[in-house]
Structure 1
Amino acid sequence: MTDTDPNMVDLFAGPGGIDLAATRLGLRPAGIEWSPDACATRRAAGLATIEGDVRDFGPADFPTASVLVGGPPCQPFSVAGNGAGRRVLDHIVHLAEQLAQRRPVARHVTDPGQDRTRLVLEPLRWALTAADTGHPYRTIVLEQVPQVLPVWAAFARILRAEGYTTVCGVLRAEQYGVPQSRRRAVLIARLDGPATLPAPTHRAYRAGVPQDSGDPALRPWMSMRQALRREHPFTVVSNYGTGGDPAARGRRTWDQPAATVTGKVRRNRLVAADGRELERLSWAEAGALQSFPPDHPWSGGDIGQQIGNAVPVTLATAVLAAALAPTG
């Protein structure tokens, strides 16, 4: 093994949110990502990158890795109304149970939507394959939109049967220093000690509750004003309407955290106190709302989608630190 051999493999690695956190904690991550644009950003940031589909690789390709992390694409699970999202989750749980019984489950299917949905099974497939070859991952960390928590709970049951301790739950990004009220479902599994979610370091954001109110043992949540350092007050007007009514679009002032950052972040309008339209967010500012450093080298195309899909760096740092915390 050399100093550059990875000890962590990141599936669906995106532009580097989890890997920046891992590097801060002294890990040596390697990320698999199929978007050429996100790979361009990763390479510009000096992150070890394999451009390709995670289904074309496996644990044997990363023999020195003892940590497995992953944030599969969330779009198949962000389904509202008509119960479609629930049906997708039930099907995925069924397929996960098939994998746990070592029954074959197709990695690819002809329906494009189902094919993308099945990507969420890949971290479990990697974990079980590693266990079956006698070199299990010591630590596993997965994240997704909150709707996927039932899948993580199923994975947790399966991994406990493989000897892991597990925990899963929904975390609020602003409680870990992210200037954004994003919520993510997280699973942590460990072979070397008890699995625990990270304790919040900041207060939870509540509309109408002042920043300096709440548990004095926790720091105040971070506002857009603090993260972006713009000189004059502004209001962010969401690009999403409610029922087609522009007047119902969400609004956040600069003294609040941002709402969830999406791939359309630069469509949000910034409006001054006197109603003037202000310059919209730069890529660096949009990245800052995801707690990326201001000089992160966003590259390639579709940068908005890269930023919207990314894992906030400070949230990832807190989760990885909890997952790797020494025991005893």
Structure 2
Amino acid sequence: MDKSPFSITVRELMDEFSLILHSGENGLDNPVTTQAINEGSLELAGYFEFLDCNKILVIGTPEISFLRNLSEDVRRLRLTQLMFFPLPAIIFCDRETPKKDFSRIADERAIPLLSTPSPKSSMVQMLHHYLIEKSMPFTTMHGVLVEVYGIGVLLKGKSGIGKSECALELIKRGHRLVVDDVVSIRKVNMKSLIGKPDSLLKHHMEIRGLGIINIKELFGIGAISEQIQIDLIVELEALSPDKSYDRLGVDTVYTDILEVRIPTVNIPVTHGKNTSVIVEVASMNHHLKQQGYHSAHRFLDSLTKRLSRDVPCETPYHGSEQDTGEPQQ
């Protein structure tokens, strides 16, 4: 299910970037509903025509230095005018911290004043990237996401079909786990989806009979990946004698997720079948297709040429000179 539109709280930002709260605690649940950021220069100079109240205000040493050079009355007026607007929060960078006049008004207006030792330029860049990511459409799906030869493969199928066991075998073969069970999927552009784990599920996997295991601790940091683009979906299903399965692979099947089409292969599962090897081959074959080489198409073209060369064309019969056109006795 889609989780749009985008909205997070100041409290979430404070936790994400380890920001220090100085005042305005009552406003920590203020919503942030836009990815844009106010950088404060014009507003502190007294120009508020284009101030967007939904944007977080980020200020650093240049802005604080400007305020210090103002007279006390003018500084108080500018702060009162600025914080009259219901800003979600104000973040102080460059190791700057708010003074008493700032903090007093912030408590009155429930505008959190936060600080970070990071340079303003870095903070603006990180915050903007984070807000862009959070503003993108996303959904969650049941499955296992693994990285196989650099290809993001989403293993899907009914519960108990063997998705986790297949992923575990892939990990033993040198590939990497992204997330088991619940995959958070975010749309980054019109053609790409990024899959990543929930913070609680990160690095963990459930194996029936064993319970919850930590892949990072068991196999090392090289066995896990924080996120990956979803390139291929592998649907595992129990082999059915009544169903016809693709034997050539000429036509590509797609699955739509958040209006992005992802190539999909269906693999019938039976006891004793090495599913992990088939997933490896499916990943390598998908990589070949990305490079412009389609094995099934090449085979079909070769077969067509062979048939056209080996089967002679029939020539129409026009009769011989002795043929009178009468039926022979």
Fold-level match, TM-score > 0.5?
no
TM-score range, shorter chain: under 0.3
Higher strand share: 2
TM-score normalised over the length of structure 2:
0.23
Q: Which has the higher contact order (CA 8 A, sep 6+)?
A: 1
